[in-house]
Structure 1
Amino acid sequence: MFSIKLIDFKPTRKSSNTLIAEEILQFYNKQTSIHADEFIALSIKQWIIEHKKTEQQILKLLQLQGVSPKYSCILGFCFEFGIGLQRRNPASAFQFYQHAAANNDGFALVQLGKFYRLGRSVPFSRLKAVELYQKSAALGHPQGALKFSRYISKPKVIFHYHQKAAEKGLKKAQCEMIKWCLVGETTLRDKHTSLRWLLRISRNNYQEEINLPKFMRMVFKNKKPRG
């Protein structure tokens, strides 16, 4: 008879550098579902300061993780916004985003769409931008849902994408939900729901995305917001 020898498998211990890289990646992924670009960059820089690191150190740690698709998007973001670099490098950012998008990274698709929409590093193509936003939305990314909604004409469909993005925590989408509740299009006017979104925004300190006093006045006066 044959005897089977059981092998006690112990996973390889991750280095401290790898753990830091994974931590900043998780933080970044969370921010992309909440903030707009400028605030994502500010949040990352704040995270680096709080962890007593330099931007150059974090960029190097991310680059040391190799060509893993999951790190491609954050590397693209660093190159786009000059995090850890002397100057921004849109061309390299575009390449990193392409690599991440090829592996169905929802935020990378949004960033590529922006490059095509602005004609940055690539020829301008509104059609390509919308295609990328739609793909991101289909993957369930809130940024993609909000961006794609801007190219839709049917109010009910726009509301659907706004609601999806808002439920996932995207600030700008939550602001749109407040407007929907105030205006009453597609849904019944509902001050209570509008106030609920306002309270949710205020609890998370979303004041850079929305003028809370202004929106509070609109809720209670039931006026249609401008812009």
Structure 2
Amino acid sequence: MLNSSNDSENEITIINTDEQKSKDNKLIDQLIILYYQQTLIDWDSTVQSTIEDWIFKNKHNLEHIINLLEQRKETSIECACLLGFFHHYGIGFETYNLEEAFQLYKHAADKDDSFANIQIGELYQITKTNHVKAKEAYKRAALLGHPQGAFKYALFLYNCKEKIYWVQASAEKGFEAAQRDMAGHCHYGYGVLKDDHRALSWLLKYSKNNPRASSDELMSLYFYYY
């Protein structure tokens, strides 16, 4: 009877452990999907607030999330990149740690994580003032197909035709800043044929893609262009 009781307790422990692992895996998967989807259309400040709001609204334990990311950072480039983002912006930490963020981003970037390359570029540009390496990192992200990478790479380019190519590539994939820029380019004929109908189309896409844009901002853009 004692053995039977112990077997039952062990079975319950295994079941509970499996249930917790399943919950943890689901939690991290949801967070990674949210993180990467948001990076496709928004700047870091909005990505940060979106993540923090999601954690708060769903009453998730931030310390537990960080522990899970730490456990997975060597085997998952997405977890490494996300943990780097947490260190980068001090999410769940007393302060930000840019060096730790850089190392985590680099681990993911070296394995072709497109957004990690963008963040590497950001840190090279802002904290290390190495614009050559920043441009290289943004280009790599652009070539990997990330719209934010394409837009940031375009900002380094002087050749009008090449610049517009990458801005449009970014806009077509939904990056809101690129959509707003394309509205201006089409209206003024900068690098493309002047076409107010296309300009308005891009402005409407920007408006739809950016629900945070105030009516005043959209009206000022409209009257600025038209």
TM-score strictly above 0.5: yes
Mapped contact 2:73–2:83 kept (Cα < 8 A): no
Residue 156 of structure 2 aligns to which amino acid in structure 1? Answer: Y
Q: Report whether the alignment pairs 1:62 with 2:62.
A: no
Give the direction of change, closer, same or farther, for the CA distance of 1:100–1:129 in structure 2 (3 Å limit).
same
Give the TM-score, by structure 2 length: 0.84
RMSD: 1.9
Q: Which structure 2 segments of 5+ residues have no match? A: 1-17
Mapped contact 1:116–1:124 kept (Cα < 8 A): yes
Which of structures 1 and 2 has the bigger CA Rg? 2
Percent sequence identity is 34
Give the match's secondary structure for 2:158. coil
Provide the C-alpha distance between the structure 2 equivalents of 1:66 and 1:117, rounded to a whole number of angstroms: 25
Query: Which of the numbers 40, 43, 47 marks the counterpart of 2:54?
Result: 47
Deviation, structure 1 residue 15: 0.7
Partner residue, 1:183 = 188
| Higher-helix-fraction structure | 2
Provide the C-alpha distance between the structure 2 equivalents of 1:206 and 1:105, rounded to a whole number of angstroms: 28
Residue 106 of structure 1 aligns to which amino acid in structure 2? Answer: S
Q: Report whether the alignment pairs 1:24 with 2:31.
A: yes
Deviation, structure 1 residue 65: 2.6
Provide the C-alpha distance between the structure 1 equivalents of 2:51 and 2:104, rounded to a whole number of angstroms: 18
> Over residues 115-169 of structure 1, what are the superposed CA-to-partner deviations in whole Å (9 max), with x where a residue is unaligned?
1112x2xx43221111111111111111211111122111111111001111111
Partner residue, 1:141 = 146
Deviation, structure 1 residue 66: 4.2
Partner residue, 1:36 = 43
Query: Which of the numbers 159, 175, 197 marks the counterpart of 1:192?
Result: 197
Query: Which of the numbers 78, 95, 110 marks the counterpart of 2:118?
Result: 110
Residue 92 of structure 1 aligns to which amino acid in structure 2? Answer: E
Q: Report whether the alignment pairs 1:71 with 2:79.
A: yes
Provide the C-alpha distance between the structure 2 equivalents of 1:20 and 1:93, rounded to a whole number of angstroms: 22
Deviation, structure 1 residue 58: 2.6
Provide the C-alpha distance between the structure 2 equivalents of 1:66 and 1:100, rounded to a whole number of angstroms: 9
Give the match's secondary structure for 2:72. coil
How many residue pairs were aligned?
A: 205
Deviation, structure 1 residue 206: 4.5
Provide the C-alpha distance between the structure 1 equivalents of 2:164 and 2:174, rounded to a whole number of angstroms: 15
Provide the C-alpha distance between the structure 2 equivalents of 1:206 and 1:116, rounded to a whole number of angstroms: 29
Q: Report whether the alignment pairs 1:212 with 2:201.
A: no
Q: Which structure 1 segments of 5+ residues have no match? A: 1-11, 221-227
Provide the C-alpha distance between the structure 1 equivalents of 2:131 and 2:191, rounded to a whole number of angstroms: 27
Residue 201 of structure 2 aligns to which amino acid in structure 1? Answer: R
Query: Which of the numbers 162, 165, 171 marks the counterpart of 1:166?
Result: 171
Mapped contact 1:113–1:130 kept (Cα < 8 A): yes
